[in-house]
A and B are shown apart, each in its own frame.
Chain A
Amino acid sequence: MSARVMLKAGSLAVLALLATGCGRATDVTVYEPGVYKGPKDPLVKMHATAEHKALLKERFTKGQTDR
């Protein structure tokens, strides 16, 4: 008798396990291909400012133009 109960319980457990495989996970992270996914570079923000651009232009004029 107890073996029957155990068999039933076992088969129920197996069924429950199998059923979990049929579910759809809702917390999947979908990434857009071709989009950078790493941490942000602080330089990008600084590089976009007009002051920084002017600084680099001045540096270029001082150091690399022909005399």
Chain B
Amino acid sequence: MARMKFLCDSERCIECNGCVTACKNEHEVPWGVNRRRVVTLEDGVPGERSISVACMHCTDAPCAAVCPVDCFYTTDDGIVLHDKDLCIGCGYCFYACPFGAPQYPQKEAFGVRGKMDKCTFCAGGPEGKDNSDEERQKYGRNRVAEGKLPLCAEMCATKALLAGDGDMVADIYRERVTKRSGRPQSWGWLTAYQEDV
């Protein structure tokens, strides 16, 4: 069975932040929330690496395990989505997520959290009809329903970020590693999917 996965090839990521911009623009993500961001390790020193991070849509999602109102569900292809109408903004998922994916809009006073927001793999949420106005407003555009894949990966200039069927993603990455004769560094895969490339 196909299983949707993200993979960021740190050898190829040039920290252009194109994925971050694409995501924010496509889904009109509110201020203070970044569904995707680029993290740079060893910045400015030889061996510097950048990785594009967002919700990895984990196999055994810890966010779903700790949610007290069970607002998470997983599609047939392993995309982890949530219902903003059920979310109470408790923040448990934020603490449970190993990737820091869940974010909260900071609109209210006294640190009151709004509804949690995270990457949807461009698959929207449980809002009546796919790509309805309500769905767009709450979760952003539903590209998967249109037969498309996440925009962050589709517009990555260096093809560092891959998103799609896990087996196909792994095949591409393995081929790259073989060509450049290095060790595979599929960052986050072991944590998210309990398996390496």
Interface residue ranges, A against B (CB under 8 Å): 31, 33-44, 46-48, 52-53, 55-57, 59-61, 63-66
Contact = CB atoms under 8 A, between A and B. Distances in A.
Interface residues of B, number: 41
A35 B70 contact: yes
Given A37-B70, A38-B83, A63-B154, A43 B149 contact: no
A60 B76 CA distance: 18
Interface in B73-126: 73, 75-77, 79, 81, 83, 85-86, 123-126
B144 A38 contact: no
Most buried by A among B2, B72, B172: B2
B73 A64 contact: no
Given A56-B164, A64-B164, A39 B144 contact: no
B126 A40 contact: yes
Contacts of A48: 75-76
B147 A37 contact: no
A53 B175 contact: no
Contacts of B81: 41
Contacts of A64: 149, 153-154, 159, 162-164, 172
Nearest to A59: B149
Most buried by A among B81, B124, B147, B162: B147
A27 to B, nearest CB: 21
Nearest to B161: A64
22 contacts: A33-B70, A34-B70, A36-B71, A36-B72, A36-B73, A37-B69, A39-B83, A39-B127, A40-B126, A41-B75, A43-B124, A43-B142, A47-B76, A47-B77, A56-B2, A56-B147, A56-B149, A57-B164, A57-B168, A59-B149, A63-B149, A64-B162
